[in-house]
Structure 1
């Protein structure tokens, strides 16, 4: 696992053996978010269906608070970012590398203290993605 800086954001990244497509499926499937996100107990899109640019919904915290979100960047198979409660939040990126994928989470500079939480999520995502590939 590496900490760094990409696209103007502090980042944490993990190189995984999982296929990029499988990683993308995990990070865009709202039903899996509680399995990898330590601060997420659930999530839903207002309109249902698949996530896309402009998608809106709610993310639920472990203490039961529902926060509205909007997807502000979406490049299929590559990256997505969002605002939560109107505030810029994490950016999620998948990069094909060495027959696997590099999973990169970026945070706004003022949220650098959130990177350890993201670091917990990355190996969980890799494990879920690898399991999907081997089903």
Structure 2
């Protein structure tokens, strides 16, 4: 699922990788914390969900300024990609095939990201 956002790729990337801002755009997240500063490959932390769960996560892939993916509670979760496009960028979320029901949540997240950054 992707969306063109009329904001710079750097601004969107900054929002996507600022763990403290995840609740601003992530409909299923109420909080998150990293075990060490700065999101990068191998980063670990915890994410709090709207259901009240506090789950461990690990960043499994990281290409600075472009993409990152994670596993939550040991299960592969969403991927996040930002690519410059025209007067802004294209933000894309990927989900594993077993999590297709999560796509509407991703659509809400992309709308929120656009609203925050545009």
SS at match of 2:60: strand
Report what 1:45 is aligned to.
34
User: What is the CA–CA distance in structure 2 between the aligned matches of 1:63 and 1:112, rounded to whole Å?
Assistant: 19
The answer to whether the 8 Å contact 1:25/1:129 transfers is no
1:75 corresponds to which residue?
63
Normalised to the residue count of structure 1, the TM-score between the two structures is 0.85
Matched, 1:31 2:20: yes
Query: What residue ranges of structure 2 are gaps of 5+ in the alignment?
Result: none
Q: CA deviation at 1:129?
A: 2.1
User: 3-state SS of the aligned residue for 2:28?
Assistant: coil
Q: How many residues align?
A: 118
Secondary structure, in 3 states, of the residue corresponding to 1:77? coil
Q: Secondary structure at the match of 1:54?
A: coil
Larger radius of gyration: 1
Instruction: Specify the alignment match of 2:97 in structure 1.
Output: 109
Aligned to 1:3: none
**TM-score, length of structure 2 as denominator length:** 0.97
**What is the Cα-based RMSD across aligned positions, in Å?**
0.7
CA separation in 2, counterparts of 1:110 and 1:22? Answer: 30
Q: State yes or no: 1:93 paired with 2:81.
A: yes
Contact 1:44 1:59 in 2 (8 A): yes
